[in-house]
Amino acid sequence: MKTAILGAGCVGGGLLHILDESGVAQAARIVEREGSLCTDPRVTHDINEVLRDGGIEAVAEAIGGVGAAYEYVLAALKCGKHVVTANKQLVAERGAELHAAAQKSGAALLFSAACGGGIPFLRELAAAARYDDVLSLGGILNGTANYILDLMQQGGSFEHALAEAQALGYAEADPSADIDGHDTARKCALGCAVAFGELPAQSSILMEGIRYITAEDVRELASRGLCCRLTAYAERREGGLFACVQPELFTLDSAPAAVRQNYNRAWYYLRYGGLFALTGQGAGALPTGGAMARDLCDIMAGTRTMLAQGCRSAAADGDKEYKYYIRVSGEGTEYTARISAREMHRRAKELRGQGKEVFFAALDE
């Protein structure tokens, strides 16, 4: 299948390398912005060359963001070209609209590379949602945050770990998306769309990142046999959709504690099938480029969508109770009884508004 790669940076470059070596699909053109240093003869700066080329059946979008990426993907779908994308922001913000455009033209829209890096999480989730009810889903979905938390647990500093994650190509262009939870929240939204047919607005997902964790927090938690991971959790109940991203505590002998470096561990829970968990590299050029190649193979095998008919935008307005570890500057640390997640997140914002530094992490026991 002749394919155009949009953006040959970290992930797009990984895909290009894989396609050129494996030949599973032909990387026929590469669309790069003006001024790009890429000297490959397949490079064009004009998306219309791709759109007008009837021999190109698919585009693989790895530009990122929702500017040119949105414009190009929508145009490609309208032309009937299949699309694979690793762009979670694009699908989280414009997924319902792009899905409708794909359905209208009969083109495929696959985005398994947008969540979990190389892990086929969304792919398996989409398959499971066809034969069972997904009751809940979540996990460690950001490689950069996990890399930082893992290195801090071994005594490293937050800043050093972040710089390494950036050098290794794990972090987003703006790493605050990794650290503050936006990236995990987008991936959580994609999971909800695939599993529940509801794409929650980003603003409705409860979100707390790892920006405020300190070496003292890590030591205090370790002294109680606990470690911290940044996790997503979502469930669909009669009371509504609940979706939350927050630091979460696990015992040192648990499966999430064993997730090291840039690895992710994504899970889903089925009414009949019970718990499924998938672990693998959650970020990086080759794992994520490989996931895009996987989606291209699925298109060649006939797959056209990962979303149920009628997937719609929604608000995640449910709630859930957790115990919390909280540290407030000048007030010390506290382990709470079970309290509402909404109330905890609201309280942290209020305290920060009063100039306090706050770190909190959930314990689901």
State the residue for tokens 């319902």. 96
Determine the Cα–Cα distance for residues 282 and 288; give it in Å rounded to an integer. 8
For residue 88, indicate whether it is catalytic.
no
CB of 105 to ligand HSE, least distance (A): 27
Residue in the shown chain whose Cβ atom is closest to ligand HSE:
144
Of 153 and 262, nearer to ligand HSE (C-beta) is 262
Assess 169 for contact with ligand HSE (CB under 6 A).
no
Residues 6 or more apart whose CB falls under 8 angstroms from that of 10 comprise: 169, 285
> Beta strand 2-6 with 26-31: parallel, antiparallel or unpaired?
parallel
Determine the Cα–Cα distance for residues 319 and 235; give it in Å rounded to an integer. 10
Kindly tell me which residue out of 171, 190, 221, 285 binds ligand HSE, with binding defined by CB under 6 A.
Answer: 171
CB of 90 to ligand HSE, least distance (A): 12
Determine the Cα–Cα distance for residues 246 and 248; give it in Å rounded to an integer. 6
- Amino acid in position 213: I
CB of 187 to ligand HSE, least distance (A): 7
State the residue for tokens 């190649």. 293
Of 139 and 200, nearer to ligand HSE (C-beta) is 139
Kindly tell me which residue out of 57, 61, 93, 172 binds ligand HSE, with binding defined by CB under 6 A.
Answer: 172
Residue 212: CB atoms within 10 Å: 18
Kindly tell me which residue out of 170, 196, 267, 269 binds ligand HSE, with binding defined by CB under 6 A.
Answer: 170
> Is the CB of residue 24 less than 8 Å from the CB of residue 296?
yes
CB of 93 to ligand HSE, least distance (A): 15
Of 70 and 170, nearer to ligand HSE (C-beta) is 170
Determine the Cα–Cα distance for residues 108 and 103; give it in Å rounded to an integer. 8
CB of 87 to ligand HSE, least distance (A): 10
Catalytic residue chosen out of the listed positions 187, 320, 349, 356: 187
Of 47 and 179, nearer to ligand HSE (C-beta) is 179
State the residue for tokens 């892990």. 119
Nearest in space to 118 (alpha carbons), one of 147, 94, 143: 143
Q: What is the dihedral of CA 195, 258, 328, 216, to 10 degrees?
A: -160
Of 16 and 101, nearer to ligand HSE (C-beta) is 16
CB of 123 to ligand HSE, least distance (A): 15
Of 281-320, binders to ligand HSE (CB under 6 A) are: 282-283, 288
Q: Which stretch binds ligand HSE (CB under 6 A): 150-158, 280-288, 291-299, 325-333?
A: 280-288
Per-residue x/- track, 130-159, ligand HSE (CB under 6 A): ------------xxx---------------
CB of 229 to ligand HSE, least distance (A): 13
Per-residue x/- track, 66-105, ligand HSE (CB under 6 A): ----------------------------------------
Residues 6 or more apart whose CB falls under 8 angstroms from that of 188 comprise: 138, 141, 200, 205, 232, 233, 234, 243, 244, 245
Residues 6 or more apart whose CB falls under 8 angstroms from that of 221 comprise: 227, 228, 249, 325, 361
The catalytic site residues sit at: 187
Applying CB under 6 A, the residues found at the interface with ligand HSE are: 117, 142-144, 170-172, 178, 183, 282-283, 288
